Structure 1
Amino acid sequence: MNHIVTVQEAVTAFEPWMEPTAAELDAIELEMPAILADVDLIDAQIIVLDRTPSELDVRRIRRARRRVLAARRALANASAPFLPGVGA
Structure 2
Amino acid sequence: MKSIGALHAAVTANLSDREPSAAELDAIELEMPLITAEVELLDVQITTLDRPVSELDARRIRRARRRVLAARRELSNRAAAMNVPGVGA
Shorter chain as normaliser: what TM range? 0.7 to 0.9
Q: Which has the higher helix share?
A: 2
Between the two proteins, what is the percent identity of the paired residues?
65
Specify the alignment match of 2:84 in structure 1.
82
Deviations 1:20-42 (A, max 9, x none): 00000000000000000000000
Alpha-carbon shift at residue 16 of structure 1 (Å): 1.2
SS at match of 1:53: coil
Specify the alignment match of 2:62 in structure 1.
62
Do the aligned partners of residues 83 and 14 (structure 1) sit closer, same or farther apart at CA in structure 2, a change above 3 Å counting? closer
TM-score by length of 1: 0.77
Moved over 3 A (4+): none
Tell me the matched-pair count.
73
| Structure 2 unmatched ranges of 5 or more | 1-12
TM-score by length of 2: 0.76
